[in-house]
Amino acid sequence: MKLSIVYSTHQTQFQAATLSGSLEENLSRIAELGYHGVELAIRDPNLVDINNLDTILKKSGLKVPAIGTGQAWGEEGLSFTDPDHSIRKKAVDRILSHIPVAHHFDSVIIIGLIRGTLKPNVSHPQAIEWLVEALQTCCKKAQEFQVRLALEPINRYETSLVNNVTQGLELIAAVEAENFGLLLDTFHMNIEEPDIEESILKCGQRLFHFHVADSNRWYPGAGHLNFQSILSALSAAKYRGFISGEFLPFPNVDEAASKNIEYFTSILPTINVQ
Ligand code: LER
Ligand code: MN
């Protein structure tokens, strides 16, 4: 089991884990805690010195399993389903600009809130049509670089577009691209899925990335989700990717990040590996 943790290269409104200090100090701290990877939330690749990032990552020994892109929505309002064509185009261009970076670090590109949410006077079929069109453009380009895209079903309180695995699989059928799959997040699944383990199995080989937080969005072990059973389902689904911690920085970032590692290490012997 490979563990990673979400880390943002810039300050943002939604801060899953904000370590204070320089990028170099933070990545070396993440590696010291025992993580194998760091999931980088990058609003705009043009704002990041990729060579410097590469040097620091090599020093830390951390892999980058996935790149989060949702800040382009949170901070700039870019979305695949905005009624304004120029905003949809900017959103697509932004994802296209992540592709060479994702290729370099061998990362999955996450399509989270950049898909947008249903805006007034836009019908659901229209929004899905725009979404499919944008995803097809991005997947086609990504395929040239052997890069995969993973859309994250997100709970109803954050978006009205694609809240669960069933809707995610419908989207996969419409996009028709081998390099398009899903990122499942236990926090959202706990709200939206009828059965978390069944939904993981339904997703099967289209599960490209996995986020963990407990029911209260604290680190795993701080709430009431059954991670033994969830990890067994991941194993049965033959998921070989990272288990990426995306939880609130409570009681503080350092404690949350180390409790996550301690918790998974402690339950590992109890997991029914298929
Ligand atoms: C991002 O991975 C996520 O889970 C969202 O809830 C962020 O708003
Ligand atoms: Mn998530």
- Mean predicted confidence (pLDDT) in 154-180: 98
Task: Tally the C-alpha atoms within 13 A of residue 152's C-alpha that lie toward its C-beta.
Answer: 29
Pairwise pLDDT comparison (138 vs 15), residue with the higher score: 138
* Mean pLDDT, all residues of the chain: 95
**Coil, helix or strand at residue 197:** helix
Pocket test for ligand 1, best of 4, 39, 111, 152 (most atoms within 8 A of CB): 152
Give the atom of ligand 1 at the shortest distance from the alpha carbon of 152: 2
Q: How far is the CA of 154 from the centre of ligand 1 (A)?
A: 7
C-alpha–C-alpha distance, residues 214 and 224, integer Å: 7
Residues paired with residue 245 on neighbouring β-strands, in sequence order: 5, 212
Q: Is the pLDDT of residue 14 over 80?
A: no
pLDDT of residue 271: 77
The pTM of this model reads 0.96
Q: How far is the CA of 65 from the centre of ligand 1 (A)?
A: 16
pLDDT tens-place string over residues 169-219? 999 999 999 999 999 999 999 999 999 999 999 999 999 999 999 999 999
C-alpha–C-alpha distance, residues 15 and 25, integer Å: 18
- Mean predicted confidence (pLDDT) in 71-95: 97
Q: Is the pLDDT of residue 274 over 90?
A: no
- Mean predicted confidence (pLDDT) in 40-54: 94
C-alpha–C-alpha distance, residues 135 and 171, integer Å: 10
At CA 125, angle to CA 78 and CA 211, rounded to 5? 55
What does each C-alpha distance from 23 to 11, 40, 82, 183, 255 come to in angstroms? 12, 11, 33, 25, 19
